[in-house]
Amino acid sequence: MTSSHEKRSLSTRLALECAARQLFAEHGFTAVSADQIVAVAGVTRGALQYQYGDKRGLFIVVLEQLERENSEEISAATAAANTDDPIVLIEIALKTFLDICLRPEMVRIALSDGPAVLGRQTWREFEIRHGLGLVIPPLEAARAAGRLADVDIPVLAQLLLSAITEAGMVVASAPDPVTAGEHALRALMAIVSGVVRGDRVSTPADTLGAAQPIR
């Protein structure tokens, strides 16, 4: 059975992570102090230091949580799709990711503060660690179906993931994010089409419906 100490520790962590996520999303990492976080969480400064070391350590945990939720949402979207076409599944996954990039929480925490707090290289390594597990399986499925050109999948996956990440940054910083999302999806699918054999790669309007813009 979970001890009283473990329960208190879990409760403290949940309070701190919830408070930090809310404050980071609303104000950004730099504008939020550790004292503000513990005040909203209703715990002591020592509790934050004990659990995470400092505000940066707490930010990394919040970022991990956000990335994990994003991955689960993308996986759920492809699992719910009424198709086993790996190329269409890639398109659905890309659209879902670009939809996520319209959310203020994603823009502020993952796309804006992430590179600044972690450093550009560490942030990219972080994105690769979370993203490759979503990119490689559909590429392997396309290879198994005879739809993929003879290219190295791990290398292709990293290159495609870099393009996807940059597309998310474009959408997040665009004056018109919805239109930018539509353009980004078409551009990413154009990249995919370069390594696909056989039938043409559909456009977003073909598979997702012209009346369903990114939102």
Residue 199 has what pLDDT?
52
| Total domains in the fold of the chain | 2
Residue 61 has what pLDDT?
97
Residues whose CB is less than 8 angstroms from the CB of residue 38 and which lie 6 or more positions away in sequence, other chains included: 16, 19, 44, 45, 47, 48
- Lowest-confidence region among 20-34, 85-99, 186-200: 186-200
Q: Angle 205-207-211 (CA atoms, 0-180°, nearest 5)?
A: 40
Q: Indicate whether 59 pLDDT > 60.
A: yes
CA distances from 108 to 1, 43, 44, 76, 98 (A): 39, 25, 26, 24, 15
87, 48: one domain: no
**Dihedral, CA atoms, 81, 87, 90, 94, nearest 10 degrees?**
-100
Last residue of a domain, one of 53, 72, 93: 53
Q: Can you give the residue range of the structural domain that contains 139?
A: 63-209
SS3 content of the chain, % helix, strand, coil (to 5): 75, 0, 25
36, 83: one domain: no
48, 143: one domain: no
Q: At what angle do helices 86-100 and 120-144 cross, to 10 degrees?
A: 150
Q: Indicate whether 178 pLDDT > 60.
A: yes
Q: Indicate whether 211 pLDDT > 80.
A: no
Q: What are 192-208's pLDDT values in tens digits?
A: 988 987 554 444 444 44
pLDDT band at 124 (very low <50, low <70, confident <90, very high): confident
pLDDT band at 161 (very low <50, low <70, confident <90, very high): very high
Residue 53 has what pLDDT?
96
Residues forming beta bridges with residue 196, ordered by sequence position? 148
- Checking 211-215 for CB contacts under 8 A at 24+ apart, the result is 213/178, 213/181, 213/182, 214/95, 214/98, 214/99, 214/102, 214/171, 214/178, 214/181, 214/182, 214/185, 215/99, 215/102, 215/178
15, 45: one domain: yes
- Give DSSP secondary structure letters for 177-200: HHHHHHHHHHHHHHHHHTTB-SSP
| pLDDT, the chain, mean | 89
Would residue 58 count as lying in a domain? no
Q: What is the CATH number of the domain that holds 139?
A: 1.10.357.10
Q: Indicate whether 6 pLDDT > 60.
A: yes
Q: What percent of the chain has pLDDT over 90?
A: 75
CA distances from 159 to 70, 132, 152 (A): 20, 10, 11
Would residue 215 count as lying in a domain? no
158, 196: one domain: yes
Residues whose CB is less than 8 angstroms from the CB of residue 197 and which lie 6 or more positions away in sequence, other chains included: 146, 147, 148, 149
Q: What percent of the chain has pLDDT over 70?
A: 91
Question: For 4-28, what is the mean pLDDT?
Answer: 94
122, 149: one domain: yes
pLDDT band at 2 (very low <50, low <70, confident <90, very high): low
Tokens of 132: 């490759």
Residue 5 has what pLDDT?
78
Residue 198 has what pLDDT?
58
pTM attached to this predicted model: 0.85
72, 49: one domain: no
Would residue 173 count as lying in a domain? yes
Length of the chain: 215
